[in-house]
Structure 1
Amino acid sequence: MAAANEFHPPSITDFFPEMLAGLPITRINLVQILATLVLVLILVLGTRRMTVVPGRFQSVLEFGFGFVRENIAYELLGRKDGARFVPLLTAMFFSIFFLNITGIIPFLNIAGTSVIGAPLVFAVVAYVTFIYAGIKRHGVFRFLRNSLVPGGVPIPLIPLIAIVELISTFIARPASLTLRLLMNMMVGHFMLVLFFSATHFFLLSASWMTPLAVGTLGLGFAFMLFEAFVAFLQAYVFTILTAVYIQLAVAEEH
């Protein structure tokens, strides 16, 4: 990022890398594959020999499963409906988190969710799930009525409210889920590249700016810790919003 003593800031081209030599995938695709393989490996190794008295590895996994089950699924959907969607919500939470966290892992350095494909897939899954849940509970007509016409709306306002609810429920929800996750991961990457490329530039400048490298390096490491928190937070927010949408879809009237 620092060549001929010129500073080169992060660019949107980071998210459109070249194909890897001999492979029909990009660097970001490789990061997504690696994150998925690591997640599957951890889950397989951690659950293949479960014991009544868990070891440390099993305890960590059970804590993660319990967090999603108790604090997201059961908290929002109740035990009956929550139990039905716990597998989906758990898979969603851990998949998003592992794809997010690659943004701060050395030699990977970019989140698997920082290109629109991954957030869009998760948003489509959430979209299909809450529509399926609503139709299964109420049937097509009643689900659409509950979604488009909230209770207590005056009859003259029904057409206007229905249009607003149509946009809000069936267009804005998947779009906001996708863009919220995508933008947060993109901005995180930009900030990390900015701090560490500035550190590189200051070190190579061999001038009065060289001491500034200490500050930018410290800020870079501090922001890495913040990004680890953001990786968790965005996985949590995405999963809990999915649960909220399912709860709204299965509710008797809202």
Structure 2
Amino acid sequence: MTALAPALLPASGGGESYQPPTPAIFWQPLFEVGPITVTNQMAWAAIITGVLSLVLIVLSKNAAVVPSKGQWLLEGVYNFPRNSVARDMIGTKEFKKFVPLLVTLFLMVLFYNLAGSFFLTMNPVTGKVGFPIALTLVVYVVYHWVSIQKMGLGGYFKHMIPPGLPAWIVPFVFLLELITYFITRPLTLALRLFGNMFAGHMVIYLFVTGAFYFLLQGDGILLQALSVPTFLMAGVMVIFEILVQFLQAFVFTLLAASYIAAAVADDH
């Protein structure tokens, strides 16, 4: 509920001017444990992870050939990242051992994102950059580890240089590949997710606070009437944001699978 407070306080300074939302709305401390500040996003991340884990365990515990409604729903959710991401990207030979990771990533990112559209939170967990970074680190470690296991440490760095290059260009290509594998990939994977969730939520807050400002502080009937389409636009943005939240979970998982697919491919 703390995330809703800025929307209910559209202006400061006696209502003289509109104060747009700032990134400070994402900083929502709850309490401190020593030097650690527990925030709203941390609490909801723990709740979502716990509830999601419990639901998956309960629905899969008594799996049967003829599925119950719960098992049927679970299988539908499970089969999407399994078949449309893991199998299609990694291939039928290698994909099965990575299915648990990719299904987990998809569900965690999806529900962390959806916290931004849930009335009690209205604040995506992934709107704080630390969470996308933590998820990206898992992918980062996995695809490097798989590559080194397959090719050896020396072979892993050697495969970054395409055969047949002139000797003078090899150092430049190798440097670019090192930057791609160790900096660009993880950086873009994390920042893409964070940026979309952060920006989308800021736009929603902009419309909501603007609508409240027109309604409560508007000078004249026309400005007050303008609050109605502004509120409607905020609702449209929430619906659009739900679509983006799903797409970003899919894209994050798809890119993770593509990196793992490159690591297990035979044609290095």
Task: State the TM-score, normalized to the length of structure 1.
Answer: 0.93
Question: How does 1:95-110 map onto structure 2 within 5 Å?
Answer: 95-110=108-123
Asked if 2 retains the 8 angstrom alpha-carbon contact of 1:77 and 1:247, the reply is yes
1:225 aligned to 2:236?
Answer: no
1:90 aligned residue (98, 103, 111): 103
1:150 aligned to 2:158?
Answer: no
1:37 aligned residue (50, 54, 58): 50
Question: How does 1:93-132 map onto structure 2 within 5 Å?
Answer: 93-132=106-145
Distance 1:197 1:20 in 2: 27
1:12 aligned residue (23, 48, 57): 23
What is the match of residue 10 of structure 2? 2
What is the match of residue 3 of structure 2? none
CA separation of 1:111 and 1:162: change in aligned 2, threshold 3 A: same
Asked if 2 retains the 8 angstrom alpha-carbon contact of 1:10 and 1:190, the reply is yes
| Ranges in structure 2 where 5+ consecutive residues have no aligned partner | 1-8
CA separation of 1:24 and 1:171: change in aligned 2, threshold 3 A: closer
Q: Which amino acid aligns with 2:228?
A: V
What is the match of residue 38 of structure 2? 25
Higher mean C-alpha deviation, range 28-37 or range 64-73: 28-37
2:186 aligned residue (162, 165, 174): 174
Question: How does 1:64-83 map onto structure 2 within 5 Å?
Answer: 64-83=77-96
In the TM superposition, residue 55 of structure 1 has moved relative to its aligned partner by: 3.0
1:250 aligned to 2:250?
Answer: no
Distance 1:199 1:121 in 2: 36
In the TM superposition, residue 210 of structure 1 has moved relative to its aligned partner by: 1.1
Distance 1:61 1:114 in 2: 27
What is the match of residue 76 of structure 2? 63
Task: State the TM-score, normalized to the length of structure 2.
Answer: 0.88
RMSD of aligned residue pairs (Cα, Å): 1.8
Distance 1:250 1:124 in 2: 19
Task: Provide the secondary structure at the position in 2 that maps to 1:211.
Answer: helix
Distance 1:90 1:152 in 2: 39
- Write out per-residue CA displacement over residues 127-157 of structure 1, whole angstroms, 9 at most, x where no aligned residue: 11101111111111112111x2123433321
Higher mean C-alpha deviation, range 207-216 or range 187-196: 207-216
Distance 1:250 1:152 in 2: 23
Distance 2:128 2:61 in 1: 33
Distance 2:20 2:134 in 1: 30
- Write out per-residue CA displacement over residues 89-138 of structure 1, whole angstroms, 9 at most, x where no aligned residue: 11111011110100011120110011111100111111111011111111
Runs of 4+ aligned structure 1 residues displaced above 4 Å come to 21-24
Higher mean C-alpha deviation, range 123-132 or range 137-146: 137-146
1:198 aligned to 2:210?
Answer: yes
Asked if 1 retains the 8 angstrom alpha-carbon contact of 2:29 and 2:37, the reply is no
Asked if 2 retains the 8 angstrom alpha-carbon contact of 1:73 and 1:82, the reply is yes
Task: Provide the secondary structure at the position in 1 that maps to 2:31.
Answer: coil
In the TM superposition, residue 253 of structure 1 has moved relative to its aligned partner by: 3.5
In the TM superposition, residue 211 of structure 1 has moved relative to its aligned partner by: 1.2
Higher mean C-alpha deviation, range 157-166 or range 12-21: 12-21
Asked if 2 retains the 8 angstrom alpha-carbon contact of 1:47 and 1:58, the reply is yes
Give the count of matched residue pairs. Answer: 253
- Write out per-residue CA displacement over residues 2-57 of structure 1, whole angstroms, 9 at most, x where no aligned residue: 24434221111112223438894111211212221221232123222223222333
Asked if 2 retains the 8 angstrom alpha-carbon contact of 1:150 and 1:253, the reply is no
Q: Which amino acid aligns with 2:19?
A: H
Task: Provide the secondary structure at the position in 2 that maps to 1:25.
Answer: strand
Distance 2:145 2:172 in 1: 25
| Ranges in structure 1 where 5+ consecutive residues have no aligned partner | none
CA separation of 1:21 and 1:130: change in aligned 2, threshold 3 A: closer
